[in-house]
Amino acid sequence: MSEDILRMRGITKRFPGVLALDDVDMRVERATIHALVGENGAGKSTLMKILSGVYPHGEFEGDIELEGRPARFRGIQDSENAGVAIIHQELALVPELSIAENIFLGNEQAQRGVISWNRTNSVAVELMAKVGLSDSPRELVENIGVGKQQLVEIAKALSKQVKVLILDEPTAALNESDSRNLLNLLRALRDEGVTCILISHKLGEVLSVAESITVLRDGKTIETLDNETDEVDEDRLIKSMVGRDLEHRFPPHRPEVGEVFFQVKDWTVHHPEHRERIVVHGAELSVARGEVVGLAGLMGAGRTEFAMSVFGRAWGSHIQGEIHLDGKKLRLHSVADAIDAGLAYATEDRKQYGLHLDYDLRQNFTLAGIRQVSKAGVVDQHQVTSVSERLRSSFGVKTPSVFQPAGNLSGGNQQKVVLGKWVFTEPELLILDEPTRGIDVGAKYEIYELIHELVDQGKGVLMISSELPELLGMCDRIYAMSAGHITGQVDRETATQEELMRLMTLETAKGGVEL
Amino acid sequence: MSMLRGVVDAVRGANLRQYGMIIALVFIMLLFQVLEVMKLDQNFLTPRNITNAIVQNSFILILAIGVMLVIVNGHIDLSVGSVLAFTGAVSAIALSDWGLPWYLAVLAAIGTGALIGVWQGFWIAYVRIPAFIVTLAGMLLFRGLTLWALEAQTISIRSEEFRMLGSGYWIQDSQVAGYHLPTLLIGAVGAGFIIWMQSAGRRNAIRNRIDTGSPVAWAVKTVLLAAATFGGAMVLAAYRGLPVIGIILVALVMAYTFVANRTVFGRHIYAGGGNEKAASLSGVKTKQTSFWVFVNMGALAGLAGVVFTARLQSATPDAGEMFELHAIASAFIGGASMSGGVGTIVGAVIGGLVMGVMNQGMSILSVGQDLQSVILGLVVLAAVFFDVWNKKRSSGPIVGTTPGGSGEAKRRGKGPDDSGPSGDQPKRPDPVGAAK
């Protein structure tokens, strides 16, 4: 009944040595939400960069038709004028400027070069109302949460009379309620006639919101599914994305849980700058050998803060409480102490905190455990190389050599390097903070297998994750955290998403922490 | 046939970034040779000129080594010229006013430099005031202290031994057929050492089952390195032999290259500069490392102060003005990255030599100071442009990545991949701001 607003036909894009897109077709109906899914490296982002003019006409083969007319964008400016706007994963906002300034960045409300602040702010308020933002337009973007920042980006796109709005992983950094708001907003925009193209790894949300779904794999269009008429579910999508049947998303594993060897008692952490603010309140937690323990919580619950403060006081101030490992009380004053004691912490943010992207795998693998490849402060470079080769092959990092900079790897492979780096320090307890965030289904499976291998060797794993199915699938026991308190724990057998969500949102008697 | 292939492999394997500056240096030297033969009908590439290019720049080269480590660690040092002047003044006062022997005067200068490093390192590493500001303050502060210490006068140096450090040559009377014998011997030993090191490294690599590439390529590279070392010694030997400062420089380059590449401390300097947050979460004591980098910088500036004072045979209040900028320029010409984490000691020295050779060549051609400065400025820009261009060119997509994105973007930690939201959460805990 409705016409296509966008047709892309025979899109082929080559990079030196790589065929990124191979004869890709895509049709998008007007005023629908169209999802684009596929593993990392499948070509989703490249396709959207072509559509938004990042790769100008002539740098690729194939045709784009927008509203029935051929579109030949020479740059982003062209595509924006034609009504195509893209919101990237990494938000393009200036934190030090106000919401209104960000909305009109590059499109200032000015007459003869003089900005009209009245107009800027009043039009901004209108646009903000459309996306459900009630803050002052003069509020600085750095002071609002990441969920609202996402909305500012959308308001910015709306200010440019957007017809096709492309969102690249918009909910990846959002908590459940912000995600829900965002998806509702997409539905509202659709009803107003805006066409949305949604790139997402979260298949549940894709299925709930999209009318049609295009699957890319290895630079090719695999199929376009109609979510309303076809029988589509997550397993069906995964199968299409990875090209193989992932019967179980989690590898089979028989846990052999041993003695409790790691305990944190009455752990309280204050914010490093606002020292009167308590971020973790008297947390208690234990891990047994061979056990995968989960830590669930909404964003801002204090999970990462808890983990980092345990890891040699890498975060926080006025830290009180006790850590016991194998019955001995640990006194950790620095990250180096924590590593020596047998702790490892693989951060949620591998690019900023986990890896040196410019440096090769050798240096990344051996940085934390450098003392194992050095004598009297002198590093044995040959040993570094051979150790790295060993880690590369045992962790299945897909790269031609260990001399490759970590920044050249895909997210999943980078995560394997982070794991390898920490396993090399021979820890007893590994804290894995969002170990599968932003990586594709196939790589997730491999990470899960690696975690199982670790616990089978008698190590303990504490896993922080925002994806409840992942915690339920992987963990032997799950703690829930809410506003800095550990609000309960559930066993593998009795755990359900509903129960966890109840604990994660529990209002504690002592009053929550504003974050 | 396989020989030819080996040579081709060796050339191709030698990545441009690493050898680009060496090639540029050789090219600049040849250019001046041609220009001077054409205009003045004389050779530029004489043993005398080459010796002078090293001796007259020695203090910049010493500073450049320290500055390179500072930049690699993600900082900057604007104070080294003033520190050089101040420590030079200290050495002169130690010799003339306090009557100390020459070696104690040298130690006094280096010790003073190290103490200055403690002062600046404290503010930078522990109080976390940006190095630009701390060392800008230091630049003014130590210039003022130099004026005060010297009472705005010049102190001349009488100690012969002390002067030797700046302008002396080693064992004068041992010429054989016009060549300085000890220098030739050192060159031969050096060449032998290189061959031995390379073979030991290769054997070790094979033992560890590391891919070592074509044996011919390896042999070509080793022979070229050894030949260059011995050739360099021959050139110096044809003039007055190895200058004392040359020995000091060679020792510094070897020692600091070793520290930078082969020690845990050295790797921590790079790791902290490349990504301070990741380094500190990997157990690197980043503050402590930065502190010692500045202490080292101060000590090297002290040594440079001694060498400069010895060469001038006097300590003057305006010594070392603009030296900080020459040292920083050397580091950037030699491949340092403004964002830290990248750069080599040899690169800094070659960068310094590029500037030195150009200065000398242009002076002989009687190019005016005005034009010299313009040309040097353009050279700095061109060298860094070459670097950026070379990075862009060589950053093709590799297995498992979404293609696209320049090398520069990668350097800033936004690699072109499809992965999660890692870069976009503003409110995550910051390990660097951690209170202890």
Supply the Cα-derived Rg of chain A in whole angstroms.
24
CA distance B109 to B89: 8
Residue A351 gets which letter from DSSP? I
Q: Do A304 and B420 touch (CB under 8 A)?
A: no
Taking CB atoms and an 8 Å limit, are B283 and A363 in contact across chains? no
pLDDT-derived band of residue B212, with 50, 70 and 90 as boundaries? Answer: low
| Residue B79 domain flag | yes
Q: Which of A351, A374, A382 sits opposite B413 (nearest CB)?
A: A351
**A166 and A23, same domain (yes or no):** yes
By mean pLDDT, which of B225-229, B251-255, B343-347 is the weakest? Answer: B225-229
Domain contains A253? no
What is the percent of chain B where pLDDT is above 70?
83
* Domain identity same for A332 and A356: no
Question: A144 falls in which pLDDT band (50, 70, 90)?
Answer: confident
Same domain? For A270 and A233 the reply is: no
Q: A215 in helix, strand or coil? A: strand
> What does residue A140 show for φ and ψ, rounded to 5 degrees?
-75, 140
> Which range of residues forms the domain containing residue B378?
45-168+294-387
CA angle A491, A492, A498 (to 5 degrees): 85
Identify whether A402 is part of a domain: yes
Q: Which of A425, A447, A478 is where one domain is finished? A: A425
Chain A residues within an 8 Å CB radius of B429: 272, 304-305, 308, 315-316
Q: Give the gap in angstroms from C-alpha B363 to the nearest C-alpha of chain A.
A: 40
Residues A218 and A150 in one domain: yes
Q: Which residue of A has its CA nearest to B258?
A: A378
Which strands, in side-by-side order, build the sheet including A4-15?
A18-29, A4-15, A61-66, A69-70
Residue A431 lies in a domain: yes
For the record, the structure tokens of A351 come out as 């690019």
Sheet holding A220-226, edge to edge: A84-87, A164-168, A195-199, A33-37, A212-217, A220-226
Same domain, A277 and A393: no
pLDDT band at B8 (very low <50, low <70, confident <90, very high): low
pLDDT tens digits for range B72-93 = 999 999 999 999 999 999 999 9
- Which of the four pLDDT bands, split at 50, 70 and 90, describes residue A489? very high
Is the pLDDT reported for residue B156 higher than 60?
yes
- Residue B164 confidence class, pLDDT cut points 50, 70, 90: confident
Please count the residue pairs, one from chain A and one from chain B, whose beta carbons lie less than 8 angstroms apart. Answer: 249
Residue B420 has pLDDT above 70, yes or no: no
| A96 in the same domain as A55 | yes
Is A249 within the bounds of a domain?
no
Q: State the amino acid at position B11 in one-letter form.
A: V
User: Does the residue B58 lie in any domain?
Assistant: yes
One domain, residues A378 and A453: no
Can you tell me the distance from the alpha carbon of B415 to that of B400, in angstroms, rounded to the nearest whole number? Answer: 12
Q: Which residues of B touch A352 (CB under 8 A)?
A: 275, 277-278, 413, 422-423
Enumerate residues 6+ apart whose C-beta is below 8 A from A22: A12, A218, A219, A220
Name every chain B residue with its beta carbon within 8 A of the beta carbon of A371.
Answer: 264
B282–A367: do the CB atoms touch at under 8 Å?
yes
Number of domains within chain B: 1
CA A181 to chain centre: 18
Whether B139 is in a domain gets the answer yes
Measured at the CA of B207, the angle between CA B206 and CA B211, to 5 degrees, comes to 30
Per-residue pLDDT, B414: 33
Residue finishing a domain among A425, A458, A474: A425
**Domain total in chain A:** 3
Determine the number of helices (DSSP H) and then strands (DSSP E) in chain B. 18, 4
How does residue A274 score in pLDDT terms, banded at 50, 70 and 90? confident
For residue B354, tell me if it sits in a domain: yes
| Cα separation, A463 vs A460, whole angstroms | 10
Mutation for testing the A interface, residue in B209, B392, B422 having most A CBs under 10 Å = B422
Of A45, A146, A389, the CB nearest to B402: A45
* The predicted structure's pLDDT at residue B2: 53
The answer to whether A40 contacts B417, with C-beta atoms less than 8 Å apart, is yes
Give domain status of residue A248, yes or no. no
A206: in domain: yes
Which residue of B211, B257, B424, B436 is the best one to mutate when testing the A interface, meaning the one whose CB has the most A CBs within 10 A?
Answer: B424
Chain segment B40-58, per-residue pLDDT in tens: 888 888 888 888 888 889 9
Determine, yes or no, domain membership for A252: no
According to the model, what pLDDT value does residue A512 have?
Answer: 40
Pick the residue from chain A with its C-alpha nearest to B400: A410
**Domain hosting residue A66, numbered range:** 4-242
Residues of A in contact with B263 (CB under 8 A): 374, 377-379
Say yes or no to pLDDT of A275 above 70.
Answer: yes
Cα distance between residue A477 and residue A460, in whole Å: 12
CB contact under 8 A, B278 and A353: yes
Return d(Cα A358, Cα A366) in angstroms, integer: 15
DSSP A160: T
Q: Has residue A509 been placed in a domain?
A: yes
The ipTM (two decimal places) reads 0.76
Tokens describing residue B99: 């009557």
A365: which residues sit within 8 A by CB, 6+ positions away?
A384, A387, A388, A391, A392, A402, A417, A420, A421, A424
Cβ neighbours of A173 in B, within 8 Å: 421, 424-425
| Chain B residues within 8 A of A351 when measuring between CB atoms | 413-415, 419, 422-423
Residue B314 lies in a domain: yes
pLDDT of residue A494: 87
Domain with A25 in it: what CATH number? Answer: 3.40.50.300
**pTM for this structure?**
0.78
Residues 6+ apart with CB under 8 A from B393: none
Domain-located, residue B428: no
At which residue do the structure tokens 């194992």 appear? A372
A311 and A177 housed in the same domain: no
**Does any domain span residue B26?**
no
